[in-house]
Structures are given as C-alpha cells and as structure tokens.
Amino acid sequence: MRTFHGIEALLEAHDELPESGFLYVLHGDDVDSPEGLAESTFVMWETEEEELFLESSEEHSPWLEAPMFVDIVDAYRDEDPDASTTDLTRAVLHYWEHDDFLTPA
C-alpha cells in the first residue's frame, strides 16, 4: 500500500496512479475543503489483497476513483499547464462537489 500525506503528495504521484480502482482516505479526513485535502491521508492499493482490505476497512473511506483523479488533473493542466497546487486542489473540489470539470478562469 502507498500512502500520500496531503493532496500535494498525491498530485506529485499522479502519473503513478492505477488505471482502475478507488483512492482511499482515512475515515474522518476532511475532503471537502482545501485545508482538509492538504492534511488528508490518501491511500492507494497495490495488490488485490490490499484493495480487498481497504474495501472492508472501517478506518478508510473510498474517495475518488484513481483514473478520475488523473482525468481531473490532466483536464485542468491541458487548459493551464502552469496550474498550481491550489488551482488543482480547486479543480478536484469542484469535481467532488459538482461532478463536473472546472475550467481555468
């Protein structure tokens, strides 16, 4: 299992994320605010056993599907190649809240 502390670490590893399956957060992590995402712990499974563990764990909650996270980041960067961590965090939150991609202003 790989663990990423904060959205910035997850963004740095975005090219290494799996092509299927959910990313998980620790149960109770705040995934509804920029500050919360900056402090959240994200977990990515690497084996089928780890995936099954995370699916049944009461300590973890599914967050976004890994390919969707990659799509959100890639779509925003396609429009703004110089996007900051703050910009990408806003794009992720926009998708989380509206089920829609954010277009850079």
Structure confidence by residue, pLDDT tens digits, 32-64: 999 999 999 999 999 999 999 999 999 999 999
Give the model's pLDDT for residue 87. 97
Let me know if residue 59 belongs to a domain: yes
**Which range marks the domain in which residue 27 is found?**
2-98
- Count of structural domains within the chain: 1
Give the chain's mean pLDDT: 96
Give the model's pLDDT for residue 105. 76
Q: Which residues of 2-26 are buried (b: 16+ CB within 10 A; e: fewer)?
A: bebebbeebbeeeeebbeebbbbbe
Alpha helices in the chain (DSSP H): 7-12, 34-39, 48-56, 66-79, 85-98
Let me know if residue 83 belongs to a domain: yes
Let me know if residue 103 belongs to a domain: no
Q: What's at 86, amino acid-wise?
A: T
